[in-house]
């Protein structure tokens, strides 16, 4: 079999596949001006009003002005939380919309979804390996194996919606390894 032909034949396919890892619009990170919508459940895709956010965590994605929901990556997923505004650290308050915070749902250890939320302690918990993050302290690590805080996304309350006002506070998920 002719090796050169094989390389050429699959090369084009491989290039196409690589692009799937790239920046398709639904995989782009939240952009300034996007509004937050429900990521899952009965109200999936509908706009989250500030009054909807209570003690329970809401998973959210950002939605562009043309209606495109950026739901193509876990790196875009947010934990939307209502916490005690007075108890927030100074840094945390910079990202908050009043008492509402938007925190990346991708763990900085191995990238799992940080799906646990304890409102009493204001901690986000990763079920994969048990890392805990203190939301009031800019999502700093309380317990490893994670060593880096979760990213915060700056938001504001704008009429009846929650709007993105800037970029994430740090890189999403784990650091590159090499």
Partner 1 sequence: MKLLVSLWGVFTIAVLTPLWVIAAQYQPVTDARLANPEPENWLMYRGTYDSHGYSRLKRINTRNVKRLKPLWTYSTGLREGHQAPPIVNGGNMFITTPHNHLLALDAENGDLIWRYIRELPEDQVQMHPTNRGVGLYADLVFMATADCYVVALDARTGEVVWETEVEDYATGYYMTLAPLVADGKVMVGVSGGEFGIRGFVMALDAMTGSEVWKTYTIPAPGEPGSETWPGDSWKTGGVPVWITGSFDTQTGLTYWGTGNGGPWMGDTRDGDNLYATSVIALDVATGEIRGHHQYHWNDSWDWDEVSAPLLIDFEREGQTVRGLVHPGRNGYLWFLERRDNGIGFVDAQPYVNQDVFTSLDPDTGRPTYDETKKPGTGKGALFCPSHWGGKNWPPAAFSPRTRLLYIPANDNVCAYMIGEKVTYRQGREFMGTDWQESTLVLTEKASDYIGELQAWNVDTGQKVWSVTFASHNWGPVLATAGNLVFMGGTNDRYFRAFHAKTGRLLWKQRTNSGITGVPTTYEVNGKQYVAVLSGWGVDAQRETSSLAEIGKVDPVVPQGGVLWVFGLE
Q: What is the b/e burial string over 117-143, where b = at least 16 CB atoms within 10 angstroms of the residue's CB? A: beeeebbbbbeeeebbbbbbbbbbbbe
Q: Measured between alpha carbons, how far is residue 111 from residues 16, 26, 122 in Å?
A: 25, 19, 21
| Residue that is written with structure tokens 């562009």 in the block | 64
Per CB under 8 A, does 123 bind partner 1? Answer: no
Per CB under 8 A, does 31 bind partner 1? Answer: no
Per CB under 8 A, does 54 bind partner 1? Answer: no
Supply 39's token pair. Answer: 């990521």
Q: Which stretch binds partner 1 (CB under 8 A): 47-55, 85-93, 122-130, 147-155?
A: 122-130
Mention every residue, 6+ apart, whose C-beta is less than 8 A from residue 16. none
Give the CB-side neighbour count of residue 106, counting CA atoms within 13 A.
18
Q: Which stretch binds partner 1 (CB under 8 A): 4-12, 79-87, 134-142, 147-155?
A: 4-12
Q: What does the per-residue mask of binding to partner 1 show for 89-108, with x meaning CB under 8 A?
A: -----------------x--
Report, in Å, the least distance between residue 127 CB and partner 1.
Answer: 5
How does strand 123-125 pair with strand 116-118?
Answer: antiparallel
Candidates 52, 64, 72, 140; binder of partner 1 (CB under 8 A) is 72
Per CB under 8 A, does 113 bind partner 1? Answer: yes
| Angstrom distance (rounded) from CA 101 to CA 108 | 18
Candidates 21, 84, 86, 159; binder of partner 1 (CB under 8 A) is 21
List residues binding partner 1 (CB under 8 A).
1, 3, 6-7, 10-11, 14-15, 17-18, 20-21, 27, 40, 72-75, 106, 110-113, 115-116, 125, 127-130, 144-145, 172-174, 176-178
């Amino acid at each position: 079999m002719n090796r050169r032909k094989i390389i050429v034949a699959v090369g084009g396919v491989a290039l196409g596949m690589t692009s799937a890892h790239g920046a398709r619009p639904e995989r782009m990170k939240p952009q300034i001006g996007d509004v937050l919508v429900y990521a899952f459940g009965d109200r999936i895709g509908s706009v989250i009003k500030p009054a909807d956010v209570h003690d329970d965590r809401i998973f959210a994605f950002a939605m562009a002005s043309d209606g495109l929901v950026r739901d193509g990556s876990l790196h875009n997923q947010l934990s939307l939380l209502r916490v005690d505004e007075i108890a927030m650290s100074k840094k945390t308050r910079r990202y908050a919309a009043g008492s509402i915070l938007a925190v990346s749902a991708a763990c900085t250890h191995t990238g799992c979804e940080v799906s646990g939320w304890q409102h009493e302690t204001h901690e986000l918990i990763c079920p994969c390996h048990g890392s805990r993050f203190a939301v009031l302290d800019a999502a700093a690590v309380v317990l490893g194996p994670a060593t880096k805080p979760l990213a915060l996304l700056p938001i504001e309350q704008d009429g009846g919606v929650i709007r993105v006002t800037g970029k994430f506070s740090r890189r999403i998920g784990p650091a590159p390894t090499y």
